[in-house]
């Protein structure tokens, strides 16, 4: 009962990557275990918690709900790809540290990718909008207050404010 393998080639964080995987391989497992990008975490395996959120052609998706074979040829951004151009922390990452927007850090990658995508469309959210922006991600540690602050701080950093 050997499973047929399928070549999946895509661009991850700007780098062409590929591997041969069974059709049922989840994108989350593909990123983590085939490509070694373990920053993407899996919290619930059914699309509720958002920890596995990655950007697929720029849009946030739950990588635990997608098969790797369905994203052949796509462009994927993971938390590892949210760094700044100089290799330091990206603005969203920096904001999470600045505002204590994480504790155990397990859900954090999903928030960072989600917020990264959100701020592209909404560069200047207010408090309420910032809370809405993260409304689809679960965090068990922080109570979200500092994550909301992190969204606002990230927007500020992206606009070039040092704050």
Partner 1 sequence: MTTKLFGEPIPRREDPRLVAGAGRYLDDIDEPGQLAAAFVRSPHAHASIVDIDVTGALEVDGLVAVYTYEDLAGPLAQPLPLLIPHPSLRAARTPYPLAKDRVRHVGEAVAMVVATDRYLAEDAAQRIRVTYQPLPPVVGLDAASKAGHLVHEDVPDNVSAHLVQEVGDAAAAIAAAPHRLHLELHIERSASMPMEGRGVHARWDETDRSLRVYSSTQTSTSLRFALAAKLDLPVDRVEVVTPDVGGGFGVKIVHPWPEEVLVPWAAIRLRRPVKWAEDRREHFISSAHERGQQHSVDVGFDDDGRLLGLSVKFLHDNGAYTPYGIIVPQVTSTQLPGPYRLGAYRVEFHSLYTNTVQVTPYRGAGRPHGVFVMERTMDAIAAALGLDRTVVRERNFIQPEQMPYDQGLIFQDGRPLVYDSGDYPAALRLAKKLVGWDEFTAVREQARAQGRRVGIGIACYVEGTGVGPYEGAYVRVETTGKVVVATGLTTQGQGHETVFAQIAADQLGVPVENVNVVTGDTRRFAFAVGTFASRAAVMSGNAVAAAAGKVRAKALRIAGEALEVDPADLSIVDGVVSVKGTPQAAIPLASVAVLANPLRYAFDEQAKQATQFAVGGGIHRPPVAEDDEPGLAATGYYSPVRSTFANGVHAAVVETDPETAEIRILRYCVVHDCGRLINPRIVQGQVHGGVAQGVGGALYERIVYDEHGQLLNASYMDFLIPYASEVPAIEIDHLQTPSPLNPLGIKGAGEAGVIPGAAVLAAAIEDAEGIPVHRMPICPSELWELRNADHR
**107 touches 51 (CB < 8 A):** yes
Question: How many CA atoms lie less than 13 Å away from 140 in the CB half-sphere?
Answer: 8
Pairing of strands 53-56, 75-77: antiparallel
Specify which residues 18 forms β-bridges with.
9
Query: At its nearest, how many Å lie between partner 1 and the CB of residue 123?
Result: 20
CA atoms of 129 and 131, how far apart (whole Å): 5
- Tokens representing 65 are 């709900």
Residue 24 C-beta: closest distance to partner 1, Å: 7
Closer residue to partner 1 (CB): 15 or 73: 15
Closest contact distance (angstroms) between CB of 71 and partner 1 is: 18
Least distance in angstroms from the C-beta of 125 to partner 1: 13
Nearer to partner 1, 117 or 139 (CB): 139
Q: Minimal CA–CA distance to 64: which of 23, 99, 29?
A: 29
In the complex, the residues that contact partner 1 under the rule CB under 8 A are 1-3, 22, 24-25, 32-33, 36-46, 48-49, 51, 78-80, 82-83, 89, 93-94, 96-98, 100, 102-109, 112, 131-132, 134-148
CB closer to partner 1 out of 53 and 73: 53
Minimum CB separation of residue 146 from partner 1 in Å reads 6
**Considering beta carbons, is residue 102 or 119 the nearer one to partner 1?**
102
Helix ranges, the chain (H) = 27-29, 91-98, 108-121, 127-133, 145-158
CA dist 111 and 121 (Å) reads: 16
Question: Which of 51, 73 has the CB closer to partner 1?
Answer: 51
């Amino acid at each position: 009962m050997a499973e047929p393998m399928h070549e999946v080639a895509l661009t991850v964080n700007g780098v062409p990557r590929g591997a041969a995987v069974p059709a049922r391989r989840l994108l989350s497992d593909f990123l983590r275990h085939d490509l070694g990008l373990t920053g993407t975490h899996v919290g619930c395996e059914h699309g509720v918690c958002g920890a596995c959120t990655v950007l697929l052609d720029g849009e946030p998706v739950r990588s635990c709900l997608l098969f790797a074979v369905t994203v052949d040829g796509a462009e994927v951004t993971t938390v590892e790809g949210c760094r700044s151009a100089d290799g330091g922390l990206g603005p969203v990452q920096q904001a999470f540290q600045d505002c204590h927007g994480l504790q155990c850090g397990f859900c954090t990658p999903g928030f960072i990718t989600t917020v990264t995508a959100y701020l592209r469309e909404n560069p200047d959210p207010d408090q309420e909008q910032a809370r809405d922006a993260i409304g689809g991600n679960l965090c068990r540690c922080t109570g979200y207050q500092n994550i909301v602050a992190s969204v606002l701080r990230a927007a500020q950093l992206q606009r070039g404010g040092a704050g």
